[in-house]
Structure 1
Amino acid sequence: MDNLRKGFPVLEQYIYLNTAASGLLPEKVWEFRQGHDMDFLIQGSILKEKQGELLAKVREAVGRFFHCEPNRVALVPNFSYGFNSFLESVPADSKFLLLKDEYPSINWPVNSRNFETVFAEINETLEANIIEKLQAEKPDYFCFSIVNYIHGIKLGFDFLKKLKADFPEVSLIADGTQFCGTEDFNFDESRIDVLISSAYKWMNAGYGNGFMLFNHEIQKKISPKHLGFGSLQGKYKTHEGNFIGKFEPGHQDTLNYGSLKIAIELIEKIGISSIQQQIGHLKNLARKRFMKAEIIEKWMGEREDFSSIFNIKGDEKLFKKLRENDIIVSQRGNGLRVSMHYFNSEKDLNRLFSVLGI
């Protein structure tokens, strides 16, 4: 799969197993960004006269890729902005179910608004813990990451669909930042009410761009309040009830959102099925070796649904050793987070295994 590595110069210098921290910038996206700013330098406002057309194409690309009508796609700079905007839209007496040790950008904004909040434990009975809390506490919203940022635990879509069928009154609000771009995903079939994601990780779109996907039902339940001149600018806003415009109150950055469009087109050119297959191959190899060496939690390794993010046992000394061998990972939680994307290879993993001595 060496052809999948083309266009990522970082891979010529490092074994990059750190997409969970920051995705790489593909040459195709870099070329777009160079051209865009050159046009802005030369054309000034003439370029910006076309921004409505460009942003409509970005929205359509996101909708096409994730199987969601473009009039239900909002373009936001990152997950945190979108999630905070969402929280400003819900009634003050709402009740939330969260996961303990979840991504801080989920739990902190909820807690800061003093919503009534209950928590489910992340452990070997995660799904049962969630169901128990839903039955006992009857929250209005369940907010969660599809893939957890520390140890890569994934909530499967069969489980989420059953959850929605059994608890239809609970709105599912998902963070897709550690998931989107790793496999084919049909939003409308997922039964998730709102999916919010930054695109700088697994979609390799650079920083400053993200998106929100809404189903039809949630639009009847929340009342977004953000408004500005941008709320009525462009296709899908002025004649669609202005729902998504309330998540886009200001001027949108054509450089960053244009980068998202190019990144999606690159994924589509490679083929999301090919990407999913390569990631699946690598994560299966890694899981077997990590479990044999007993450097990941046994229950995590035995889960049916799992991602290509692993938290292996390791300290500062091992982190420095890996960096000295040009292997890039992150320190997260109580260990080292290793994450592999489609541009990684068996050779990368074998080098990691060798340095780890497993």
Structure 2
Amino acid sequence: MKNLRKAFPVLQQYIYLNTAASGPLSEKVFDFRQEHDLDFLVSGCILKEKQGEMLAKIRETVGGFFKCEPNRVALVPNFSYGFNTLLEGIESDKSFLLLEDEYPSISWPITSREFKTYTVSLSATLEEDIENALKNYNPDVFAFSIVQYISGLKLSIDFLKQMKQKFPDTLFIADGTQYCGTEIFNFDDSGLDVLLCSGYKWLNAGYGNGFVLFQEDVPKKIFPKTTGFNSLQGKYKAQEGNFLGKFEPGHQDTLNYGSLMTALKYLNEVNLEVVEEINKKLSVIAKKELTTLGVLDEIVVKRSHHSTIFNIKGDKNLYDHLRNNDILASLKGPGIRVSFHYYNTEEEIQELVKALSEYLKK
């Protein structure tokens, strides 16, 4: 197998267990960014004149990667921008179902608009609890992260598809920022109505880029008000009131969206089947080792499947101990969050276990 670590220079300096906070930049994306700005430097407005063509190619790349037609792919600078734009198109009397301790960029925009909300506690029986809440509350919208940013609890796409079939009148709006890029994903077959994602984590696309995927009937249910020059410009935004165009007012950033396209092409080179296989293996090994050490929450231990994000019991002293051992992680929620991607190794898990064991013996 090719060296999957070579493209990420930071991996030569650290045990990088912090993709859930910020995915490392690859040489491929770095090279694209240099070439793009060199083109801008020497050609000026000529580069801008090619913007529409480039943005169309980026949408096509995103759509091909996630199995969504490009006329249903909107490019946004980040999840929060796209989500707030989306919420502005939802009537104020609609109700929302949320998960407790959800990512603030989901919960805050909803509560700030004073939508009626119901919540589901995180537990080992999360899927059963979600189904009961959908049945009991009959919310207009279920907004959620596919993978929880603190605990790493993961909702399977099969489960979400089943719930959408059982509750077709509820809009399923998902944050894929902690999920997209970790395994094969087919949006059109997912049961999700809308998926939004920032590209700077598991896609390794750097900052300032993200996307919105939506099903064909969504424009009949959500009516964003955002508009501006370029909302009607381009190959996939021909008609007035175009839903995609509501997310793209003004001039768009081809440097950052081009970085997303480059990162997705690189993941295709690596092969997403390989990425998924490695991530599943890392998740199983890490969960087993961390469970043995007794540093995981009981909710995580009891669940049969999990992401590659784990929250370890500990404080800043442990965090500093890990950093002193060149292990990059995050202080997050009740403990220290570590996260593994396909460029991590079993040996690095063992290095983490060794550092934790040394600390726990103090």
TM-score by length of 2: 0.97
- Mapping 1:279-298, distance limit 5 Å: 279-298=279-298
State whether structure 2 residue 177 is matched by structure 1 residue 177: yes
Q: Is the 8 A contact 2:19 2:339 kept in 1?
A: yes
Displacement of 1:329: 0.4
Identify the residue that residue 87 of structure 2 maps to in structure 1. Answer: 87
**Aligned-pair distance for 1:8?**
0.7
User: How many Å separate the matches in 2 of 1:329 and 1:2?
Assistant: 26
* Code of the aligned partner of 2:313: K
Q: CA deviation at 1:239?
A: 4.5
| Counterpart residue number, 1:214 | 214
| Counterpart residue number, 2:304 | 304
Residue equivalent to 2:334: 334
Q: Could you tell me how far 1:87 is from its partner in structure 2? A: 0.2
Q: Which amino acid aligns with 1:85?
A: T
The number of residues matched between the two structures is 358
Query: CA–CA distance in 2 between the matches of 1:235 and 1:90?
Result: 27
Q: Secondary structure at the match of 1:236?
A: coil
Q: Secondary structure at the match of 1:143?
A: strand
2:232–2:240: 8 Å Cα contact kept in structure 1? no
Structure 1: any 5+ residue segments left out of the alignment?
none
State the partner residue of 2:46.
46
DSSP 3-state at the match of 2:195: strand
TM-score normalised to the size of structure 1? 0.98
| Alignment partner, residue 110 of structure 1 | 110
Quote how far apart the aligned CAs of 1:283 are: 1.3
CA contact (8 A) 1:291 1:298 kept: no
1:323 is aligned to 323
Question: Is the contact made by 2:124 and 2:302 (CA closer than 8 Å) also made in structure 1?
Answer: no
Partners of 2:327 and 2:29 in 1: CA distance: 24
Q: Following the alignment from structure 2 to structure 1, what is the Cα–Cα distance between the partners of residues 174 and 277? A: 24
Deviation readout 1:151-175 (Å, 9 max, x if unpaired): 1000111211111111111000000
* Cα distance between partner residues in 2 of 1:54 and 1:148: 33
Between 266-275 and 118-127, report the one with greater CA deviation.
118-127
What amino acid does structure 1 have at the position aligned with 2:111? Answer: N
Query: Structure 1 residues 2 and 16 mapped into 2: Cα distance closer, same or farther (>3 Å)?
Result: farther
Q: Tell me which stretches of 4 or more aligned residues in structure 1 moved more than 3 Å.
A: none
Aligned to 1:78: 78
Please list every run of 5 or more consecutive structure 2 residues that lacks an aligned counterpart in the other structure.
none
Are 1:71 and 1:240, in contact at CA under 8 Å, matched by a contact in 2? no
Per the alignment, residue 58 of structure 1 pairs with 58
For the 8 Å contact 1:70–1:236, the answer to whether it is kept is: yes
Q: 1:173 aligns to what SS in structure 2?
A: strand
Counterparts of 2:306 and 2:63, CA distance in 1: 25
Amino acid at match of 1:14: Y
Aligned counterparts of 2:200 and 2:209: Cα–Cα separation in 1: 7
- How much does 1:241 deviate? 6.0
User: How do residues 81-160 of structure 1 correspond to structure 2 at under 5 angstroms?
Assistant: 81-160=81-160
Any idea what the Cα deviations from partners look like across 1:54-102, whole Å, max 9, x if unmatched? 1100000000000000000000000000000000011111111111110
- CA–CA separation in structure 2 for the residues paired with 1:25 and 1:232: 33
Letter in 2 for 1:78: N
Deviation at 1:287, TM superposition (A): 0.6
Secondary structure of 2:21's aligned partner: coil
Structure 2 residue aligned with 1:32? 32
Corresponding residue SS for 2:338: strand
- Cα deviation, residue 2, structure 1: 6.5
Match of residue 16 from structure 1 = 16
CA distance in 1, matches of 2:185, 2:246: 25
The residue number in structure 2 matching 1:234 is 234
- Percent of residue pairs identical: 58
Helix, strand or coil: the match of 1:181? Answer: coil
Counterpart CA distance in 2 for 1:87 and 1:312 is 34
